[in-house]
Amino acid sequence: MTSHDFLQACRGILGPEQVITAPEDMAAYLTDWRGRFTGNAAAVLRPADTQQVAAVIALCAEARVPVVPQGGNTGLVVGSVPDRTGNAVVLSLKRMNRIRAIDLVNNTITVEAGSILEEVQNAASNAERLFPLSLAAEGSCTIGGNLATNAGGTAVLRYGSMRDLCLGLEVVTADGKVWDGLRGLRKDNTGYDLRNLFIGAEGTLGIITAAVLKLFPQPRVQVTAMVGVDTPEDALRLLTMAQATCAASLTGFELMSAFSLALVTKHFPQMRTGFSEDYAQYVLLEISDSESEEHATAMLEALVEEAMEKEVLCDAIVASSIAQSRALWSLREHITLAQAAEGKHVKHDVSVPISSIGEFIGQTDALLQQAVPGCRMVTFGHLGDGNLHYNVSAPEAMADEDFILHQEAINQVVHDSTVRFGGSISAEHGLGMLKRDEIRRYKSDVELGLMMTIKKALDPHDLMNPGKVL
Ligand code: FAD
Ligand code: 2HG
Ligand code: ZN
Residues 301 and 273 placed together within one structural domain of the fold:
yes
Confidence of residue 320 (pLDDT cuts 50, 70, 90): confident
Looking at residue 311, which CATH number applies to its domain? 3.30.70.2190
Cα 384 off chain centre by? 16
For ligand 3, the distance from its centroid to the CA atom of residue 429, given in whole angstroms, is: 8
Rounded to whole angstroms, the Cα distance separating 456 from 450 reads 10
First to last CA, the chain: 28
Which of 149, 159, 198 to mutate for ligand 1's pocket (most ligand atoms within 8 Å of CB)? 149
- Indicate whether 450 belongs to any domain: no
Residues 271 and 324 placed together within one structural domain of the fold:
yes
Looking at residue 369, which CATH number applies to its domain? 3.30.70.2740
In the three-class reduction of DSSP (H, G, I as helix; E, B as strand; rest coil), residue 270 is classed as coil
- Rounded to the nearest 10°, the torsion over CA 301, 304, 309, 313 is -160
Q: Which residue, 64, 92, 120, sits at the end of a domain?
A: 92
Residues 58 and 73 placed together within one structural domain of the fold:
yes
pLDDT over 90 percentage in the chain: 99
Q: For residue 354, which phi and psi values (nearest 5 degrees)? A: -55, -40
- Indicate whether 461 belongs to any domain: no
> Quick one: pLDDT at residue 291?
92
For ligand 2, the distance from its centroid to the CA atom of residue 30, given in whole angstroms, is: 22
- Indicate whether 50 belongs to any domain: yes
Residues 265 and 185 placed together within one structural domain of the fold:
no
Residues 76 and 186 placed together within one structural domain of the fold:
no
Residues 331 and 352 placed together within one structural domain of the fold:
no
Rounded to whole angstroms, the Cα distance separating 37 from 343 reads 16
Type of residue at 219: P
Rounded to whole angstroms, the Cα distance separating 3 from 379 reads 47
pLDDT (tens digit per residue) in 283-318: 999 999 999 989 999 999 999 999 999 999 999 999
Sign of CA dihedral 403, 406, 412, 413: negative
- Indicate whether 116 belongs to any domain: yes
Does the CB atom of residue 200 touch ligand 1 within 6 A?
Answer: no
Contacts of 160 (CB under 8 A, 6+ apart): none
> Quick one: pLDDT at residue 21?
98
Residues 266 and 245 placed together within one structural domain of the fold:
yes
Residues 139 and 62 placed together within one structural domain of the fold:
no
**pLDDT above 90 (res 49):** yes
Q: What are the angstrom distances between the C-alpha of 155 and each of 68, 137, 347, 383? A: 29, 14, 21, 11
**In this structure, are residues 355 and 349 in contact, taking their beta carbons and an 8 Å threshold?**
no
For ligand 3, the distance from its centroid to the CA atom of residue 19, given in whole angstroms, is: 34
Rounded to whole angstroms, the Cα distance separating 42 from 85 reads 9
Residues 277 and 294 placed together within one structural domain of the fold:
yes
Residues 270 and 331 placed together within one structural domain of the fold:
yes
Rounded to whole angstroms, the Cα distance separating 167 from 149 reads 16
Contacts of 419 (CB under 8 A, 6+ apart): 425, 442
Q: What are the angstrom distances between the C-alpha of 276 and each of 225, 322, 380? A: 16, 21, 21
**pLDDT above 90 (res 363):** yes
Confidence of residue 453 (pLDDT cuts 50, 70, 90): very high
pLDDT (tens digit per residue) in 417-447: 999 999 999 999 999 999 999 999 999 999 9
- Indicate whether 371 belongs to any domain: yes
pLDDT (tens digit per residue) in 246-267: 999 999 999 999 999 999 999 9
Ligand 1 atom closest to 428 (CA):
25
- Indicate whether 451 belongs to any domain: no
Does the CB atom of residue 93 touch ligand 1 within 6 A?
Answer: yes
Q: Which residue, 217, 243, 268, sits at the end of a domain?
A: 217
For ligand 3, the distance from its centroid to the CA atom of residue 153, given in whole angstroms, is: 5
Residues 264 and 173 placed together within one structural domain of the fold:
no
For ligand 3, the distance from its centroid to the CA atom of residue 428, given in whole angstroms, is: 7
> Quick one: pLDDT at residue 74?
98
Looking at residue 168, which CATH number applies to its domain? 3.30.465.10
- Indicate whether 444 belongs to any domain: no
> Quick one: pLDDT at residue 429?
98
Ligand 1 atom closest to 113 (CA):
18
What integer best gives the mean pLDDT of the chain?
97
**In this structure, are residues 352 and 343 in contact, taking their beta carbons and an 8 Å threshold?**
no
**In this structure, are residues 77 and 103 in contact, taking their beta carbons and an 8 Å threshold?**
no
Domain count along the chain: 4
Please give the residue range of the domain that contains residue 365: 343-428
Does the CB atom of residue 429 touch ligand 1 within 6 A?
Answer: yes
Looking at residue 78, which CATH number applies to its domain? 3.30.43.10
For ligand 1, the distance from its centroid to the CA atom of residue 147, given in whole angstroms, is: 8
Residues 238 and 274 placed together within one structural domain of the fold:
yes
Does the CB atom of residue 135 touch ligand 1 within 6 A?
Answer: yes
pLDDT (tens digit per residue) in 99-140: 999 999 999 999 999 999 999 999 999 999 999 999 999 999
- Indicate whether 462 belongs to any domain: no
